[in-house]
Amino acid sequence: MQNLEDYRKIVGAEVISSIYRKARTLYDLKVININSTYYGGGVAEILNALVPLMNDAGVNADWRILRGTPDFFDITKKFHNGLQGGSVNLTQIKKNLYTQASQTFASYCHLEVDCAIIHDPQPLPLIKFFRKRQPWVWRCHIDLSDPNLKLWEYLKSFILRYDMVVISNPNYRREDLPVFQRVIYPAIDPLSSKNMDVNGKMVDKYLEKFGVPRDKPVICQISRFDVWKDPVGVVDIYEKVRQKVDCRLVLCGSMAADDPEGRQIYDQVVERAKDLIEAGEVILITSENNILVNVLQRSSAVIIQKSTKEGFGLTVSEALWKEKPVVASSVGGISLQIRDGETGFLLDPQDLDGFIDRTVEILKHPALGEEMGKKAKEAVREKFLITRLLSDYIGLLNDIMK
Ligand code: UDP
């Protein structure tokens, strides 16, 4: 378990001292975070690192999970897609199933806290089922810039009860929402098993264990099997790239507990890449394993992130922190993380030729990737590490408790 002191060697003493200073007004403040999964996906990743560090800074921070049935997660995945612009058939049955999970949770979970932070749409209705005695914050990790409007109007009936909404990008700010909206960029934990330094022996061991040969360069996308991450599009790119430079594709996507669509999208990828998978040229991995993600990011020649929508995209900062060249879509939070041509490459998600050309360019000229990687790591150090996120949350708590 890390404590704040461990980060001093990465971000410097002044950053650590300023966090302790800012937290002085918050000693023993009881804060609860609620989301709907312990693992899989960016929210669980962040809370795993953030909640213990909040405690180390002196805040009394807790983390609970809203339980749900498979039906509930089917619906909330539809809502997630709808918030990113997908269509939703919003029936009364769906609304009932959606609110039921919050109502049940409220019947046994006692919120004796000074502030509640609710993450994403799954537990959003909780606020309706508790007697509100403290400020409530809705922390939305999704791109809200173009939601399905019928769904948005329905969800607003809960959001309007909140004291503050936190979004990941200034572009997600909604003019039609009269609740204070604060921007906090997500961040990665440089000391977690996913991002810590690993030695060559460990890399060899994990690649062997998960069946990834090292005879040719690997291009890789690490992402849940999700339509918005466009894994089929990555296979399209790979097919063209390998005609120019011999390489292998690894798609690594664990199945998040709150994402029931994973299997379906995985099957689509298998269908699309059947021959390449049989030939061992495309490797699909569904294990949940942080060190494996770490090793894959470090040992790949190019990291692709071909999302068509992306609330933030922690995988991008994870790869940049490891000094890896990233070729990614210029959507949502990805555009915040990469300076095009300097710390990676940004492309329109429809521009397949662009993705192909940039990937081939890096494979042919590894020195180009190395140079970008060094700058990329410094950019992440400055803006996207967990210490900055912790400091932002402490700032938020200071403001909301005034
Ligand atoms: N991840 C993982 N194993 C996988 C695929 C993803 O641990 O097989 C992690 C990934 O490294 C990142 C998080 O899940 O930390 C995904 O966060 P991101 O913001 O990229 O996307 P989200 O899944 O939240 O849409």
For the domain that residue 13 is a member of, what is the CATH number?
A: 3.40.50.2000
Q: What is the pLDDT of residues 344-386, one digit of tens each?
A: 999 999 999 999 999 999 999 999 999 999 999 999 999 999 9
In eight-state DSSP terms, residue 222 is: E
CA of 31 to the centre of ligand 1 (A): 25
For residue 305, give its domain range: 200-383
- The answer on pLDDT for 50 being more than 90 is yes
Q: What is the mean pLDDT of the chain?
A: 97
160 lies in some domain: yes
Residues 137, 47, 382, CA angle at the centre, nearest 5°? Answer: 95
Same domain, 183 and 217: no
Q: 148: which 2 tokens?
A: 């399905």
Same domain, 133 and 279: no
Please give the number of the atom of ligand 1 that sits closest to the Cα of 188: 15
Same domain, 182 and 234: no
pLDDT-based confidence at 260, cuts 50/70/90? confident
What's the rounded mean pLDDT across residues 109-119? 97
* Ligand 1 pocket check for 390: Cβ under 6 Å: no
The set of long-range contacts for 238-246, using a CB threshold of 8 Å and a minimum separation of 24, is: 238/276, 238/282, 239/276, 240/352, 240/356, 241/356, 241/359, 241/360, 241/363, 242/281, 244/356, 244/360, 245/217, 245/360, 245/363, 245/364, 246/216, 246/217
pLDDT at 391: 98
Q: How many Cα atoms within 13 Å fall on the side-chain side of residue 169?
A: 19
- The answer on pLDDT for 1 being more than 80 is no
Least trusted range by pLDDT, from 243-247, 257-261, 333-337, 398-402: 257-261
* Ligand 1 pocket check for 252: Cβ under 6 Å: yes
In DSSP terms, 385 is beta-bridged to 188
pLDDT at 255: 80
54 lies in some domain: yes
Same domain, 209 and 246: yes
Same domain, 155 and 304: no
- The answer on pLDDT for 46 being more than 90 is yes
146 lies in some domain: yes
CA of 42 to the centre of ligand 1 (A): 5
* Ligand 1 pocket check for 299: Cβ under 6 Å: no
* Ligand 1 pocket check for 260: Cβ under 6 Å: no
193 lies in some domain: no
Residues 369, 373, 375, CA angle at the centre, nearest 5°? Answer: 125
Please give the number of the atom of ligand 1 that sits closest to the Cα of 256: 23
What's the rounded mean pLDDT across residues 230-259? 94
195 lies in some domain: no
- The answer on pLDDT for 256 being more than 80 is no
- The answer on pLDDT for 274 being more than 90 is yes
Query: One-letter amino acid identity for 131?
Result: R
Query: One-letter amino acid identity for 338?
Result: I
What's the rounded mean pLDDT across residues 179-200? 97
What's the rounded mean pLDDT across residues 255-276? 92
pLDDT at 282: 98
Q: Which residue has the higher pLDDT, 259 or 160?
A: 160
Q: Which residues contact 23 (CB under 8 A, 6 or more apart)?
A: 57, 58, 59, 394
CA of 401 to the centre of ligand 1 (A): 32
- The answer on pLDDT for 252 being more than 90 is yes
Q: Which residue has the higher pLDDT, 172 or 38?
A: 172
- The answer on pLDDT for 41 being more than 90 is no
Same domain, 318 and 389: no
pLDDT-based confidence at 209, cuts 50/70/90? very high
Measured on CA atoms in the order 42, 334, 81, 173, is the torsion positive or negative? positive
pLDDT at 139: 98
pLDDT-based confidence at 2, cuts 50/70/90? confident
192 lies in some domain: no
In eight-state DSSP terms, residue 26 is: G
* Ligand 1 pocket check for 45: Cβ under 6 Å: yes
Same domain, 168 and 214: no
State what percent of residues in the chain have pLDDT above 90: 96
Same domain, 217 and 293: yes
* Ligand 1 pocket check for 41: Cβ under 6 Å: yes
139 lies in some domain: yes
Q: What is the pLDDT of residues 162-179, one digit of tens each?
A: 999 999 999 999 999 999
What's the rounded mean pLDDT across residues 211-236? 97
* Ligand 1 pocket check for 312: Cβ under 6 Å: yes
What's the rounded mean pLDDT across residues 319-333? 98
pLDDT-based confidence at 141, cuts 50/70/90? very high
Burial of residue 394 (number of CB atoms within 10 Å: 0-12, 13-18, 19+): buried
3-class secondary structure per residue, 37-48: CCCCCHHHHHHH
pLDDT at 257: 75
Same domain, 373 and 394: no
63 lies in some domain: yes
CA end-to-end distance (rounded Å), the chain: 31
* Ligand 1 pocket check for 253: Cβ under 6 Å: yes
Q: What is the pLDDT of residues 294-309, one digit of tens each?
A: 999 999 999 999 999 9
Q: 62: which 2 tokens?
A: 């807790």
What's the rounded mean pLDDT across residues 188-202? 97
- The answer on pLDDT for 214 being more than 80 is yes
Same domain, 72 and 167: yes
Same domain, 154 and 234: no
Q: What is the pLDDT of residues 25-34, one digit of tens each?
A: 999 899 999 9
Please give the number of the atom of ligand 1 that sits closest to the Cα of 310: 25
Same domain, 228 and 174: no
pLDDT at 127: 98
User: In total, how many domains does the chain have?
Assistant: 2
Q: How many Cα atoms within 13 Å fall on the side-chain side of residue 255?
A: 12
